[in-house]
Amino acid sequence: MSSFTDAHCHLDFDSFAADREAVFERARDEGIGRFIVPGTRRSRLEAVLALKRFAGVSTCLGLHPYFLDEHDDEADLAVLEQALTSRSVVGLGECGVDARLDDLPRQWRLFDAQLKLARRLELPVVVHCVQLNDEVGKRLKQLALPARGLIHAFSGSLQQAQRFIELGYLLGIGGAVTHDRARKLKRVVAELPADSFVLETDAPDMAPQGVSGRNEPACMSRVIAEVARLRGVSRETLAATTSANAECLFRLEN
Ligand SMILES: [Zn+2]
């Protein structure tokens, strides 16, 4: 029996400090046995890496555009490079650009520096991309990163999805697909090739429909049910294909 992989969850965040063990236990009860925890900022670097003491956890490190106020760009990039080369990680991220946030030129500079680092270190990249799919797709094509990456929390058209897939990137499908209003995304998810996507929660954010407050990996059961329904596949098939996709991208041992 295959287990599911939550390909993107921020389990280092303080909102899990009080009950982290229970969070992992509830996830396992729902058949989720693997967790990819991305980094967000320099001050959380050790907290992210420390999660590897939990079974099934793999980690990435990166500088997320939400935390521009906290980043000291040049210094933090140097620390990031040092950590990526000396510590055990499976990817670079979370990094990216978000049209809803301020200072897009600075976001792009920071993102670009991390993409080039991922290219140099041959690491897969975990991309946060909001309302900039065409621009990001163009940049990823230019840079041709050898280990490619994950477009986490993908939201966009089928055409934009196909462009990322053609470049060899996986799409992350999470809580957004469970919402009744997400008609376009539901259509895209129904059409995606089986080897092109992974499942994720983005916990503690991006709660699925019916979950109020904190999101956690166990809530991925709602994403699993909806994606299986949309694609007309069994839970078992979905577990096998999406976990294999995550294993392949992040070079996890199975
Ligand atoms: Zn995230």
Q: What is the DSSP string of 168-236?
A: T-EEEE-GGGGSTT-HHHHHHHHHS-GGGEEE---TTSSPPTT--S---GGGHHHHHHHHHHHHT--HH
Task: Find the 231 Cα to ligand 1 centroid distance in Å.
Answer: 25
Could you tell me if 215 and 207 are in contact, meaning their C-beta atoms sit under 8 angstroms apart?
A: yes
The response to whether 122 counts as a known ligand-binding position is no
Q: Which domain holds residue 119?
A: 4-250
- Please choose, from the candidates 85, 94, 45, 92, the residue with its C-alpha nearest in 3D space to the C-alpha of residue 66: 94
Is 179 part of any known ligand binding site? no
Share the mean pLDDT of the chain: 97
128 annotated as belonging to a binding site for a ligand: yes
pLDDT recorded at residue 253? 80
Cα 50 to averaged position of ligand 1 atoms, centre (Å): 18
- Ion ligand 1, residues whose Cβ is below 5 A away: 94, 202
Residue owning tokens 């210094």? 75
Give the CA angle between residues 200, 65, 108 to the nearest 5°. Answer: 115
CATH number at residue 60: 3.20.20.140
C-alpha separations of 20 from 14, 53, 96, 105, 221 in Å: 10, 12, 27, 37, 18
CA of 113 to the centre of ligand 1 (A): 19
Confidence class for position 221, pLDDT limits 50, 70, 90: very high
Task: Identify the CA nearest to 93 among candidates 102, 103, 104, 84.
Answer: 84
Q: What is the pLDDT of residue 2?
A: 82
Q: Ligand 1 centre and the CA of 38: distance in Å?
A: 7
Q: What is the mean predicted confidence (pLDDT) over 50-70? A: 97
Residue keyed to tokens 């809803």: 100
Question: Residue 49: pLDDT band by 50, 70, 90 thresholds?
Answer: very high
Query: For residue 191, how far is its CA from the centre of ligand 1 (angstroms)?
Result: 24
Decide if pLDDT at 23 tops 80: yes
CA 10 to ligand 1 center in whole angstroms:
6
Q: How many domains does the chain have?
A: 1
d(CA 231, CA 192) in angstroms, rounded, equals: 9
Q: How far is the CA of 186 from the centre of ligand 1 (A)?
A: 21
At residue 1, does pLDDT exceed 90?
no
